[in-house]
Structure 1
């Protein structure tokens, strides 16, 4: 049991049992008398713990706190190793947080952790030097709109937004009930009930401009329905028309693909020749086609036939235009 764990334990013991002897402390904490006395003194000197010892009865207890004296245990206590890990994670978050969404909230915690660490060894400068995060392809986000979306989402309020659909290059004004934010392949998406369409939609956050937060309570859609509409098929914009795709990867590529997660319901098997066969559900195919084609000749679409023919046509057209 570490020092901090013992201090929390001592606090718990004194709060639950108003009178306790040194023998009780030693038995409960499984440490020496000297260690208990050192912990009690630390709590008195550094945390203003109102611990007193009654010599006549041989017991320890909390007394009423004096005016101006405040005693409370820290909300978070970290060892040096934990602080190093947290600072490293902050650096990684900063690397993928291309829109600067988390930075303003993480920096105060980072400053606090750096202060607690109190050492030049393994400082943030050293972490920055030793850890490199390269993120390619992420889009920038408008911090103002992201915060408005997040606030409306948690407060269960409706939003009036202008949404620019890149596929049609059209902007529409919609009233939506935010359901959940999703971070997917380097970008943020908002799952919401669209009152204009009367259906569930997934919106790319960087294409949203918030016009107004309404006081109207957001429509709550059950998680099961959200998952059935948005999570059953492959990709971020899935849908309800589900079918299964079966892909076959070459033995050379199989060693990588076998450890990849394409879908929560995927099924994969190594074949006798060392190739890898992967199956999973999908509905809309644009994203799936892009992900299949990036493997080039290392992948073959086994089924469905329609998807295989579609990719074949795309490849023929690409050769013509090359």
Structure 2
């Protein structure tokens, strides 16, 4: 300790002791006091290195929250890989924490994620990173049938609490999206996957509305009531949306779309606070959907 005090003039014994504790507890440095050598030593045969990046407590907390977000995306899906890192971050966060259980000060709630087989996820992710083709059995829910596809995976997407694999389908000779929970069997092929350019991926998947890809050939105009306007005005429904606030306080939002299924669901969740102004076919579809729903709740079904 005397050598430290002489080397670092102006640094107190208490500061040096705290720094040694910091190295041991925060960075897992195997530093110990050696009576025989009369000083502090690192007994690891030169294997220990300080990390390239140091984190403040607030940064460690942010990283831990990010891990919780990923964990909540699909409980248990990545625990094998994230568990050790999360435990280390917890130990780092505990050093000098101003209060206990700081991790519990933030609550992350996930709603209605569909269950994905962790083994399938690992195989799909590995094939994606290794650039390999896949052979999958995929259940098409609308038709209640299982099809076999050879695909070249392009990217994994987490959208509205669920996992989707964007891939080139060699049977359809086009880009397709596959819900991971609908994949019933997966096999990695010893063939190099076809790689689609980022420009083509962007044009195909970002033009349409929501998860439905394809060139946006339509544009919806939605009018929200003054009561709902402020909230919707803060939302981004599509990168290419346009909007305006009317004199009465209502809010008109225009969004492009290629497939109206997801757009209809988003319109319906606003109930009477929104009106479809255009196009006529979208307005008609929302009307028919509302009529069908209202019919189920009719007080006197006989009428």
Q: Which bin holds the TM-score, normalised by the shorter protein?
A: 0.7 to 0.9
8 Å CA contact retained: 1:99, 1:142: no
1:150 aligns with 2:134: no
Spell out, residue by residue over 1:158-207, the C-alpha distance to the aligned partner (whole angstroms, 9 max, x if none). 00000011111111010000000111111111100000111110111111
CA deviation after TM superposition for structure 1 residue 303, in Å:
0.8
Counterpart position of 2:74: 98
2:283 to 273, 286, 308: 308
Spell out, residue by residue over 1:226-260, the C-alpha distance to the aligned partner (whole angstroms, 9 max, x if none). 22222101011222252111111001000100011
**1:240-279 counterparts in 2 under 5 A?**
240-279=215-254
8 Å CA contact retained: 2:139, 2:183: yes
8 Å CA contact retained: 1:247, 1:279: yes
| Separation in 1, partners of 2:196, 2:10 | 59
Counterpart position of 2:57: 80
Counterpart position of 2:36: none
Counterpart position of 1:160: 135
| Separation in 2, partners of 1:245, 1:189 | 25
Q: For the structure 1 residues 80 and 216, does the alpha-carbon distance in structure 2 shift closer, same or farther, using more than 3 Å as the test?
A: same
Q: For the structure 1 residues 321 and 232, does the alpha-carbon distance in structure 2 shift closer, same or farther, using more than 3 Å as the test?
A: same
Spell out, residue by residue over 1:7-35, the C-alpha distance to the aligned partner (whole angstroms, 9 max, x if none). xxxxxxxxxxxxxxx9xxxxxxxxx9646
1:199 aligns with 2:174: yes
Partner SS, residue 208 of structure 2: coil
| Separation in 2, partners of 1:302, 1:164 | 36
CA deviation after TM superposition for structure 1 residue 311, in Å:
1.2
Q: For the structure 1 residues 108 and 122, does the alpha-carbon distance in structure 2 shift closer, same or farther, using more than 3 Å as the test?
A: farther
Counterpart position of 1:136: 111
| Separation in 1, partners of 2:224, 2:80 | 44
Structure 2: runs of 5+ lacking an equivalent: 1-6, 31-43, 298-303
CA deviation after TM superposition for structure 1 residue 123, in Å:
4.8
Spell out, residue by residue over 1:48-84, the C-alpha distance to the aligned partner (whole angstroms, 9 max, x if none). 9xxxxxxxxxxxxxxxxxx943563323422223223
8 Å CA contact retained: 2:73, 2:162: no
Counterpart position of 1:231: 206
1:176 to 151, 167, 182: 151
1:296 aligns with 2:271: yes
Q: For the structure 1 residues 286 and 115, does the alpha-carbon distance in structure 2 shift closer, same or farther, using more than 3 Å as the test?
A: same
8 Å CA contact retained: 1:99, 1:141: no
Report the TM-score, using the length of structure 2 for normalisation.
Answer: 0.79
CA deviation after TM superposition for structure 1 residue 321, in Å:
3.1
Partner SS, residue 220 of structure 1: coil
How many equivalent pairs are there? 270
| Separation in 1, partners of 2:226, 2:54 | 49
Structure 1: runs of 5+ lacking an equivalent: 1-21, 23-31, 49-66
**1:9-48 counterparts in 2 under 5 A?**
34=10
| Separation in 1, partners of 2:229, 2:45 | 67
Report the TM-score, using the length of structure 1 for normalisation.
Answer: 0.75
8 Å CA contact retained: 2:138, 2:183: yes
Q: For the structure 1 residues 79 and 120, does the alpha-carbon distance in structure 2 shift closer, same or farther, using more than 3 Å as the test?
A: closer
CA deviation after TM superposition for structure 1 residue 300, in Å:
0.7
CA deviation after TM superposition for structure 1 residue 103, in Å:
2.6
8 Å CA contact retained: 1:99, 1:139: no
